[in-house]
Structure 1
Amino acid sequence: MALKLKNIIPAILVTVAPVAAFAQASDPAATQIDAYHNAIIEIMKQGKSLGISGRITRFETLVHDYYDMPTMTSLVVGSGWSSASQADRDQAIAALEHHSAVMLASNFVSYGGEQFKTELPVTSRGSDKLVRATITSDKLIYRMRFSQGKWRIVDIISDGVSQLAVQRADFSSTVASNGIPGLVHKLATIDAKTMK
């Protein structure tokens, strides 16, 4: 089953049901990715029996636990983040978190036994860590940052393309025209179409 890695957005790995192959991770960031992979597998093993709503609920918990959504959302919004009210920030974080869960739930539907492998060594880049993973024959890099007591995903890179940068570009005109409320509305519109 071919992956569409260029369509990944935060937490949006597409179309393949992975089997985690442990990296014998001594690095805590790699350990987190192993745990993330296995959590995806557990949801996928329940497949369609959960239904789309059930999968979204499960993936929302996963995104909340493994992603640094405040950092990611601030980077998607860009310069307007610093002047935004706390209420707007909270709404944007919740909207992007839900959106990520919807995308995961719509793409990870059933378990097919494909391999999802975390690779060592982990590379440090400033305060971030880069954890490589192979999904079948495709390569991903998770950029991770220590936040709220553990390493969390802040970006996914495939074919050298930062998915966070893609998201920021995709939503920049919406944010420029209508601010954070416009972004929240745009995400909700996309989610409603995806869930049909």
Structure 2
Amino acid sequence: MKPAFRIAALMMAAMPAVAHAEAADPAGRASAYDDAVIGVMKAKLGTAARADRFETVVKTYYDMPTIAGLVAGPAWASASAADKATAIAALTRHSAVSLARNFKDYDGTPFRVDPKVIERGPDRVVKVTIGKDVLYYRMRQSAGSWKIVDVISSGVSNLALQRADLATTIQSGGLQGMAKKLAQLDAVK
């Protein structure tokens, strides 16, 4: 076998092990997410283009159905499948736009992932330091990999903030009302 084919064969044989290792390791998954965020920042795109790129990142690394259900609260249980899908899509876009607004360009500040993962029932909490800022990614197994279900900054849960910010809207307009409000908030200028 030619050397180039041997290398390709070895790489293909190793791929499932790498994917499995990433799924079994919350810190590795958090590091891959951070690398994806840095990659978008390094691309030096405008806000709308960054939001589009971040949407793919969010879909890959966040458990948006779980997040949507937790944000919606009791309204989730009685919502139709179509309304749930609309809420998931709206929150996915909202997360992407938020990332685009907060992570504009990369100044070289490293994202440091603490390999010591905290276990909290089915969840794992991964500490990430970005310069002087400390974030905690609460992660949960979903479809065979670890996905983010919350980001905690300065002791404040992003999930709790979203739920509080949207509670009145959901109570009065359901998941459709929530999606409409998020679309208004996310209008990229």
Both structures adopt the same fold (TM-score exceeding 0.5): yes
CA displacement at 1:53 relative to structure 2:
2.5
CA displacement at 1:166 relative to structure 2:
1.0
Query: Which of the two has higher C-alpha Rg?
Result: 2
Paired position in structure 2 for 1:82 = 77
Paired position in structure 1 for 2:120 = 125
Letter paired with 1:45:
K
Letter paired with 2:30:
I
Question: How far apart are the structure 1 equivalents of 2:106 and 2:155?
Answer: 28
Question: How far apart are the structure 2 equivalents of 1:108 and 1:134?
Answer: 15
TM-score by length of 2: 0.85
What stretches of structure 1 move > 2 A for 4+ residues in a row? 50-53
Paired position in structure 1 for 2:5 = none
Q: Is 1:30 aligned to residue 27 of structure 2? A: yes
In structure 2, runs of 5+ residues without a counterpart are 1-21
Letter paired with 2:179:
V
Paired position in structure 1 for 2:86 = 91
1:108 is matched with which residue: 94, 98, 103?
103
Q: Which structure dedicates a bigger proportion of its chain to helix?
A: 2
Paired position in structure 2 for 1:137 = 132
Question: How far apart are the structure 2 equivalents of 1:172 and 1:66?
Answer: 25
Paired position in structure 2 for 1:40 = 37
Question: How far apart are the structure 1 equivalents of 2:136 and 2:48?
Answer: 29
Q: Which structure dedicates a bigger proportion of its chain to strand?
A: 1
Question: How far apart are the structure 1 equivalents of 2:158 and 2:54?
Answer: 19
Pairing 1:145-160 to 2, within 5 Å after superposition: 145-160=140-155
Q: Cα deviation per residue 1:79-121 (whole Å; 9 max; x = unaligned)?
A: 0101000000000000000111111112222111112110121
Superposition CA RMSD, Å: 1.5
Ranked by relative contact order (alpha carbons within 8 Å, sequence separation 6 or more), the top structure is: 1
CA displacement at 1:158 relative to structure 2:
1.6
Percent pairwise identity: 51
Question: How far apart are the structure 2 equivalents of 1:61 and 1:40?
Answer: 11
In structure 1, runs of 5+ residues without a counterpart are 1-24
Letter paired with 1:66:
Y
